[in-house]
């Protein structure tokens, strides 16, 4: 059944806020805040940006929309989840710069400024699911920007969020594009900081298992392409291989590209030696699954 937003949330969605950050987007949609969302993350202090494009303390979910080049439009859109260890958001090279590239190649990019979990893992997930529903035209606010096939893109902890939406989300994306994603909470393989911020340092083994997403893949999980570096010392590459293997075990289409070097967090930066290669790989894969 289609979920209807409360009237106040719908009105907020349809109007760009005066204080919305200008990233060059065409539209800015406020999804909800801790008062109007189903759950609160408990953050009451103001959002901060002490470093350019490094946003912390987010308690309001917002979409920044970059429409597809009409001459190249593929009928696809992506909700883009920047990384930041679930403690902040890298809004530039894993966010709006990525969205501009997708848009230039015919794919509408909607950057999601999601609320930090602050030990409430349901909060960023419900932001991502609602963003997917908005871009699919199932909720109000994105008229003229919606698409028939809406995927999700995530980097690092944003990759964990994208994989959460793909595995345990109530409304799943059509596909996922995962850059060096956090996937597992298994000791020795995890990115500890992400799980401290998502769940807490005192989390239980049962919580770790519930948010180790390689164990949450089902036959309903959408196809995925994973892109990472072999020398990533921040998020071990095994995170991606675990997810890839789980997808294949369930017969789900998947592709994985492991580059020899580059470390972690390269996103769409020109300094990444294999930028052209990953861009070709993503566009080719998206074209193929769209046929």
Structure confidence by residue, pLDDT tens digits, 51-93? 999 999 999 999 999 999 999 999 999 999 999 999 999 999 9
Kindly tell me if the per-residue pLDDT of 14 is higher than 80.
Answer: no
Strands of the 176-179 sheet, one edge to the other = 27-33, 60-66, 107-113, 76-81, 149-155, 176-179, 224-229, 254-259
pLDDT number for residue 10: 42
Residue 12 pLDDT: 44
Confidence at residue 15, expressed as pLDDT on a 0 to 100 scale = 40
For residue 244, the model assigns a pLDDT of 98
Q: φ and ψ at 8, to 5 degrees?
A: -60, -40
Whole-number pLDDT of residue 190: 84
Mean pLDDT across the chain: 93
User: Between these two residues, 17 and 218, which has the higher pLDDT value?
Assistant: 218
C-alpha triplet 27, 29, 32: angle, nearest 5°: 170
Q: Half-sphere exposure of residue 179, counting CA atoms within 13 Å on the CB side?
A: 30
Give me the pLDDT at residue 2, please. 38
pLDDT at residue number 159? 98
pLDDT at 17: 38
The total of other beta-carbon atoms located within 10 Å of residue 44's CB is: 9
Q: Are 98 and 158 in contact (CB under 8 A)?
A: no
Q: Is 118 left (phi over 0), alpha (psi -120 to 50) or beta?
A: left
- Prediction pTM value: 0.93
* Residue 33: both structure tokens together: 């805040």
Tell me which of 185-199, 210-224, 230-244 is least confident: 185-199
Burial 107-128 (b: 16+ CB within 10 A, else e): bbbbbbbbbbbbbbbebbbbbb
Per-residue confidence (pLDDT) for residue 20, from 0 to 100 = 63
**Cβ atoms of 162 and 153 closer than 8 Å:** yes
């Amino acid at each position: 059944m289609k979920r209807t937003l409360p009237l106040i949330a719908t009105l907020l969605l349809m109007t760009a806020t005066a204080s919305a950050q200008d990233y060059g987007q065409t539209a800015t949609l406020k999804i909800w805040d801790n008062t109007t969302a189903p759950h609160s993350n408990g953050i009451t202090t103001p959002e901060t940006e002490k470093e350019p494009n490094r946003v912390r303390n987010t308690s309001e979910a917002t979409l920044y929309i970059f429409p597809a080049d009409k001459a190249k439009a593929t009928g696809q859109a992506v909700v883009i989840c920047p990384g930041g260890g679930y403690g902040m958001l890298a809004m530039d090279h894993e966010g709006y710069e990525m969205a501009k590239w997708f848009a230039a190649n015919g794919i509408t990019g909607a950057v999601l400024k999601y609320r930090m979990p602050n030990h409430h893992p349901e909060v960023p997930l419900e932001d991502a699911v609602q963003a997917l529903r908005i871009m699919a035209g199932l909720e109000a606010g994105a008229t003229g920007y919606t698409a028939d096939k809406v995927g999700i893109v995530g980097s690092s902890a944003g990759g964990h969020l994208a994989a959460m939406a793909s595995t345990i989300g109530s409304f799943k994306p059509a596909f996922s594009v995962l850059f060096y994603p956090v996937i597992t909470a298994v000791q020795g393989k995890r990115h500890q900081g992400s799980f401290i911020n998502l769940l807490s340092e005192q989390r239980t083994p049962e919580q770790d298992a519930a948010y180790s997403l390689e164990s949450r893949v089902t036959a309903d999980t959408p196809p995925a392409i994973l892109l990472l570096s072999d020398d990533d010392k921040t998020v071990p590459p095994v995170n991606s291989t675990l997810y890839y293997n789980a997808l294949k075990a369930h017969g789900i289409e998947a592709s994985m590209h492991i580059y020899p070097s580059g470390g972690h967090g390269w996103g769409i930066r020109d300094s990444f030696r294999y930028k052209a290669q990953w861009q070709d790989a993503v566009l080719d894969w998206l074209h193929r699954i769209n046929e």
